[in-house]
Amino acid sequence: MHGFTQSALALGAETAGYLPASTNLFPSGAFDLVRYHLVTQRLALADSVQFPTTAATHASSAVSSRIRTLLLARLRANEPILHRLPDMLALMSLAGNIPTSLAELGRLSDEILYLAGDLSVDSSWYTKRGALAGVYAAAEVFQSQDRSLGCVETERFVDRRLADVRWAGGAVGSVGEWVGFTGMSTVNVLRSFGVRI
């Protein structure tokens, strides 16, 4: 009702039986309400979305499907505060709040990939998390303006962004394979001419 504001923090303290001055325990003020929402909704994903364990749990297609499910579940957790979502995003974008907001976004990416069954620790670890963070952040901004029933336009937006990430990831992977093949071919040709490599 009162949104992510200092007055909401003071009213919450008063309702809980504390003096309004007890809000001084929250050094970031209203942003602490935002942080509470972000952390609790991230932690709730593990309980709100359950996947059956199968032999193909870690297969690429299963992981991709689960990532989509988890992303949409996290976005649906914003629906009760949808009318306050622009205010939340505005607080998150203030210079002093950006490091905390980005750190929480990183933790959300880790959580989603872990819950989806992606346990890889290869060179794409950072790329996957960065791409997922980008998709989620863009979807949340889109959701803040989405007026469609049940946020179906946000769901379509997520599907388009995930398709873009898969296409880009495939293209990068193909380029990487080509570079690796070309590099090895070059080394082999040079060796055939007696160059010590």
In a domain, 65, yes or no: yes
What is the distance between the alpha carbons of residues 48 and 45, in angstroms, rounded to a whole number? Answer: 5
Q: Is 23 domain-assigned?
A: no
User: CA angle at residue 114 from 110 to 118, to 5 degrees?
Assistant: 110
Residue 68 lies in a domain: yes
Residue 96 belongs to what domain range?
A: 29-192
Q: State how many domains the chain has.
A: 1
Do 92 and 137 form a contact (C-beta atoms < 8 A)? no
**Residue 173 within a domain:** yes
| Within a domain: 136 | yes
In a domain, 17, yes or no: no
The one-digit pLDDT tens for each residue of the chain (197 residues) are 678 888 888 888 888 888 877 888 888 888 999 999 999 999 999 999 888 776 555 567 788 899 999 999 999 999 999 999 999 999 999 999 999 999 999 999 999 999 999 887 777 788 889 999 999 999 999 999 999 999 999 999 999 999 988 766 544 444 444 444 445 555 555 566 565 65
45: in domain = yes
Q: Does residue 186 form part of some domain?
A: yes
> Helices 152-192 and 125-145 sit at what angle, rounded to 10 degrees?
160
